């Protein structure tokens, strides 16, 4: 499923215009360019607030991906969510997508920690998607061909399916935002496995300093494939924050 906007919102283009353009040129690379993400050092879900889902005639070939331990989601929820993430940021000839980045793993970890308030919304929403798929297509969402999955997500975004918190489009926006976060986050948080998201954006990685040669290299600077937490400065800051949160030494 491809996505596109002009970087600052839809502007004069309607959703149908964007959908038609995405169908004509269904490249994941164009998805990223349209969302204003290529070359970015950080990804904001606000910057992609008008990204929409597009239909595809391809079939889903990743339904048998290996399972992993879960912290918040059930196995069925994770399977449904994996299919959705794969629709939103698919792998293509330009490289891997949300599935390879383990966006679902990031979302699962977040629902067990800082995003725990959204856990119920996921439970209700993923069940509603499966029920709608079963009632209208005779199969669960993850078992459907990709064009039918995309069609359901388009209906979800357009608020044409009921049973979501707060509504269909709100749930879709949350799914999309968390999928983007899981694909392009610092790998420390469970997504962006093997730095595939950063490589997709041509982001060379976190550096505590940049030489004149680094600056001159610009986008051609080789990636260092390091998390922020691979640097001792960040690790010490995180350790100090944890100590403070747990009621460490009081120097006042």
What pLDDT, on the 0 to 100 scale, is given for residue 100?
Answer: 95
Closest CA to 150 of 23, 4, 21: 23
Between CA 163 and CA 158 the distance in angstroms is 13
Between CA 133 and CA 131 the distance in angstroms is 5
At 57-69, the pLDDT tens digits run 444 544 444 556 8
Supply the DSSP symbol for 102.
T
At 110-131, the pLDDT tens digits run 999 999 999 999 999 999 999 9
What average pLDDT does range 150-159 have in this prediction?
A: 94
Between CA 199 and CA 205 the distance in angstroms is 9
At 160-191, the pLDDT tens digits run 999 999 999 999 999 999 999 999 999 999 99
Q: Above 80 in pLDDT, residue 213?
A: yes
pTM of the model: 0.70
Rg (CA), the chain: 19
Closest CA to 192 of 84, 109, 118: 109
What pLDDT, on the 0 to 100 scale, is given for residue 66?
Answer: 52
Q: Is 44 helix (H, G, I), strand (E, B) or coil?
A: coil
What pLDDT, on the 0 to 100 scale, is given for residue 57?
Answer: 43
């Amino acid at each position: 499923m491809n996505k596109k906007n002009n970087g600052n919102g839809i502007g004069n283009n309607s959703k149908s215009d964007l959908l038609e353009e995405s169908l004509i040129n269904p490249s994941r690379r164009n998805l990223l360019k349209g969302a204003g993400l290529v070359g970015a050092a950080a990804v904001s879900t606000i910057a992609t607030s008008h990204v929409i889902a597009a239909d595809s005639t391809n079939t889903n070939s990743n339904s048998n991906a290996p399972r992993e331990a879960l912290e918040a989601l059930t196995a069925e929820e994770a399977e449904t969510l994996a299919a959705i993430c794969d629709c939103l940021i698919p792998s293509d000839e330009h490289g891997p997508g949300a599935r390879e980045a383990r966006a679902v793993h990031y979302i699962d970890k977040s629902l067990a920690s800082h995003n725990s308030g959204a856990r119920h919304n996921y439970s209700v929403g993923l069940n509603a998607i499966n029920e709608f798929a079963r009632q209208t297509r005779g199969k669960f969402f993850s078992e459907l061909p990709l064009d039918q999955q995309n069609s359901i997500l388009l209906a979800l975004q357009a608020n044409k399916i009921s049973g979501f918190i707060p509504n269909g489009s709100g749930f879709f926006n949350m799914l999309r935002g968390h999928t983007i976060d899981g694909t392009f986050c610092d790998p420390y948080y469970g997504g962006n496995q093997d730095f595939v998201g950063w490589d997709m954006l041509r982001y060379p990685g976190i550096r505590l300093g940049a030489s004149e040669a680094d600056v001159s290299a610009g986008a051609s600077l080789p990636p260092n494939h390091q998390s922020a937490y691979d640097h001792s400065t960040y690790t010490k800051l995180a350790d100090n924050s944890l100590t403070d949160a747990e009621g460490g030494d009081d120097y006042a």
